[in-house]
Structure 1
């Protein structure tokens, strides 16, 4: 049976790989290191939280949601002594556009330009109430250059969706570690997620026990029918929260956006690791 995918999710699958180059490309790592953010996680936390300003760890723990507090606290606020938010923002944009320039070198410029036009229309129509990361990114100055604009538009849209996803997780009564345990019960190895989010073995095992007590998980760690139902409900809520902006587009425009983005997304996805912690379906 063919799975029906919500249009908002189908579009996210297309624009997320464009944004995600900032986490995995050598150009991004080099740009952060040149700015003084040496070490992968300084670049990650510095670049992604820079739109919020020189914040302490607590708001980043809240906004990013599934990182262990102690992991964020090792980076923040110390990294702002190495690179002010303005420098981190420029580094993340430089790294992203450098990666896109390499990956999309053979893509027709008109596909990039049309993608930018339609994605920026979507950004201009976003309601960011209750979405702190999206709002902080949406008010940044629009950069020069089509690749920079492409990356920034996809970034605002993915943070908007991510903020809605966090709200759905909270509404389902999940905390950050529990959300990761559920993800691993679906399609990801614990060894892939746990080290990248900083939770200890004890914290992970306690989260697993809580989910078992609440009938999300069976004793063998697999999702129960109740767990699958509730997971589908939170994913549907995420799609619904991300869908409103796309209702302002005609179906023909959404088809045009998908057609323009698809070759761009395919090349960006091929440049990412086959398995990532960011929620995209694993590459086949």
Structure 2
């Protein structure tokens, strides 16, 4: 099958997973079991599938976040609640958010049920080897409601791809902050201000990363990617695409195309109904 179709499908599905990081329903449900409202609910809800782990494993799998930021929330979240309760709360919150954004009638439609079956088939083609965040989510029980089966499958596919991306970054000898700096420099990622604010890297840490990359010939001292830097980023993205391909090959081209057709309308509806702050998934 066309590998570009797999990448396009993964990017199309991403908002249906990522909206859970912005939805007030998730913040409400996770905070209702004891986790502090705000950024703590993100770190707790996404890492809870790994169990009562410390800040180290979470920082390792989240990769581009400053480890000191992770340590601010983990393991404090597990002193306030249990990972099992947080997982359940996250899924309740996502279900409520999908209901608000897409409408209850859409969630019980034949289209969502078919999409859930297709996405679950794709997820069955994922390998857990070397993919800790994906493997932790794959250990969770499948939900029963079709729309939550779809969410869970998309989550498995997303974390499978993300773990593979981290492996590609490590293979390219890019640290978490270097990965963020180089991605921002492509013009396709965050702005520097947004990257630093959300991932908690200081001006000095950012500048130090730029200097180190410049010494390697990957960036200019003013933060522009060199030809070698562009080539390295291109290689990282290509390796990420390659390692994320097996589940889509497992589903097949016809199934992948059909999943795209089924999920485009709810993605459009979610975006139209304000699933994200301005500028996210624009």
Does the pair score TM above 0.5? yes
* Matched-pair contact (CA < 8 Å) for 2:13–2:263: yes
* Residue 5 of structure 1: how far off its partner (Å): 7.6
SS in 2 for 1:91: helix
| Equivalent residue number for residue 259 of structure 2 | 257
Q: Among residues 93, 96, 107, which one is paired with 2:91 in the alignment?
A: 93
Matches within 5 A, 1:243-254: 243-254=245-256
Contact 1:217/1:227 (<8 A) preserved:
yes
Q: 1:240-267, CA deviations, whole angstroms, 9 ceiling, x for partnerless residues?
A: 0000121123322221111001112222
Work out the CA distance in 2 between the residues paired with 1:241 and 1:207: 27
Distance 1:129 1:17 in 2: 26
Which one is further off, 14-23 or 214-223? 214-223
Alpha carbons 2:124, 2:247 under 8 Å: kept: no
Matched, 1:134 2:134: yes
Shift of 1:123: 1.3
Deviation at 1:32, TM superposition (A): 1.6
Q: Which moved more, 1:165-174 or 1:204-213?
A: 204-213
C-alpha contact (below 8 Å) 2:177/2:209 kept by paired residues: yes
Superposed CA offset, 1:90-124 (max 9, x none): 11101111111111116371221111000001112
Unpaired runs of at least 5, structure 2: none
Matched with 2:196 is 194
- What is the CA distance between 1:206 and its match in structure 2? 0.6
Say yes or no: does 1:31 pair with 2:35.
no
8 A contact 2:25–2:93 mirrored in 1: yes
Retained in 1: the 8 A contact 2:184–2:191? yes
Query: Is 1:210 paired with 2:208?
Result: no
Name which of 46, 49, 52 aligns with 1:51.
Answer: 49
Partner of 1:275: 279
Tell me the CA shift for residue 39 of structure 1.
2.7
The answer to whether the 8 Å contact 1:101/1:147 transfers is: no
Residue deviations 1:185-219 (CA, integer Å, cap 9, x gap): 12231111111111122111111111111122123
1:1-284 superposed matches below 5 A: 6-105=4-103, 107=106, 109-187=109-187, 188-270=190-272, 271-276=275-280, 282-283=281-282
Query: Are the aligned partners of 1:19 and 1:155 in contact in 2 as well (CA < 8 Å)?
Result: yes
Contact 1:186–1:223 (8 Å) recurs in 2:
yes
Structure 1 residues 138-180: Cα deviation after superposition (integer angstroms, max 9, x where no partner): 1100112122111111111100000000000000110001111
Work out whether residues 103 and 268 of structure 1, in 8 Å CA contact, stay in contact via their aligned partners in 2.
Answer: yes
Q: Distance in 2 between matches of 1:265 and 1:82?
A: 34
Quote how far apart the aligned CAs of 1:125 are: 2.1
TM-score between the two structures when normalised by the length of structure 2:
0.93
SS of the equivalent of 1:219 reads coil
Q: Which residue of 2 aligns with 1:279?
A: none
CA RMSD of aligned residues (A): 1.6
Secondary structure of the structure 1 residue equivalent to 2:245 = helix
| Structure 2 residue matching 1:230: 3-state secondary structure | helix
Runs of 4+ in structure 1 displaced over 3 angstroms? none
